[in-house]
Structure 1
Amino acid sequence: MDEQGKRLHGLAPVAAEHCTLLLLGTMPGEASLLAQQYYGHPRNHAWPLLYGLLDGGTPEAAYEARIGFALSRGVALWDVLQACERAGSLDSAIRKPEANDFSAFFAQYPRLTHVFFNGSEAERLYRRQVAPQLGAGDSRTYTALPSSSPARALSLTVKLQAWQPVREAWLALGAQGR
């Protein structure tokens, strides 16, 4: 592996027809890619945040149960990038990013009205690589959140407060058939 890292490929989206919220990361880290699981690093706060915000209690140990929980709450999971070069897991190490096809994704899941960026790099890459292709007619609500990554040195309590817009959107959209 050279200093730029190897070419990595992301995970398939986790979504269902009824989903209204999209949690959008940049590219899974090494632990997540190895496990083939979203937020697979044991110290990543994404699952405790989602369970805490969406009345789930403590995250279940089984990944499939976590996915079922997210989908039952109308939350889809994906990443901005389908591929990139990266050494390690840090977003700052990403080179040669290649975005996922969001036009097709949003056409397949038209009820996704709220997009939450899991970290500033996800937002930056999305706005640079994806938003121009979607055009001015994109009426979704976009909200940047602090990264759930263990590399983001904020406590779970601080992140829980910062992630409240997820809960607010979830409650506001509750009447739409979760």
Structure 2
Amino acid sequence: MRKRCFAPVVNADTRLLILGSLPGEKSLAHSQYYAHPQNRFWMLLGEVLQIELASLPYDARLAALLAHGVGLWDVVAQAHRIGSLDSNIRARDDNDLPALLARYPAIATIAFNGGTALKLGMKVLGEEAKRYRIVALPSSSPAYTLGYADKLAQWQALADGIQ
């Protein structure tokens, strides 16, 4: 069975685009970005934005991101994958990142949530990447065992992309 990403969460005011690799099993089951309860995405980004995101209903989280100029999407459009680990992604089709960026010219910063997203995303962007500020983030996933404080210190680099 092929797993598919969600639609991008972006609008004309998006200045920072955060790209993951491909939603995990919990996210796919709930049809929500970063739905696994141990994934720290909403906590990390909430601290960067200085708002409480994790306790908000999902639609309110997305609205808050857009209100702060932050968008979400994934590098991989669809792929075969057993479980949620990026290392199990096979036979992937990538999203057309350059086309999305062309439609939303206010985007100036692209952040990659994790090493796989960065590696694949930079290949998809190619020379186009030079037009953007690129931020490599440690994965918010519980599978990436860097401590929360260390993750947060690196995620704080996003603050420059939303001011």
Pairwise TM-score range, normalised by the shorter structure: over 0.9
Change beyond 3 A, Cα 1:123–1:158:
same
Any stretches of 5+ residues in structure 2 without a counterpart?
none
Whether 1:59 aligns to 2:60 is no
1:118-177 CA distance string (max 9 Å, x none):
00000111122x123xx358411111110000111122222111111101322xxx3xxx
One-letter code of the match for 1:71? L
The 1-side partners of 2:58 and 2:143 are apart by 22
Whether the aligned pair in 1 keeps the contact of 2:112 and 2:136 (CA below 8 Å) is yes
| Separation in 2, partners of 1:69, 1:127 | 27
Query: What is the aligned counterpart of 1:36 among 21, 31, 34?
Result: 31
Note the residue ranges of structure 1 that are not aligned, 5 or more in a row: 1-5
TM-score, normalised on structure 2? 0.94
Distance in 1 between the 2:49 and 2:61 partners?
Answer: 12
- Is the Cα contact below 8 Å between 2:40 and 2:140 reproduced in 1? yes
1:14 to 9, 15, 20: 9
Matched, 1:104 2:96: no
Q: TM (normalized to structure 1)? A: 0.87
Q: For residue 165 of structure 1, what is the aligned residue in structure 2?
A: 157
Equivalent-residue separation in structure 1 for 2:36 and 2:65 (angstroms): 17
Task: Measure, in 2, the Cα distance between the counterparts of 1:70 and 1:136.
Answer: 24
Aligned length: 163
Q: Does 1:87 find its partner at 2:82?
A: yes
Structure 2 Cα separation of the partners of residues 121 and 167 of structure 1: 22
- Superposition pairs of residues 95-174 of structure 1, within 5 angstroms: 95-128=90-123, 130-132=124-126, 135=127, 138-170=130-162, 174=163
AA aligned opposite 2:160: E
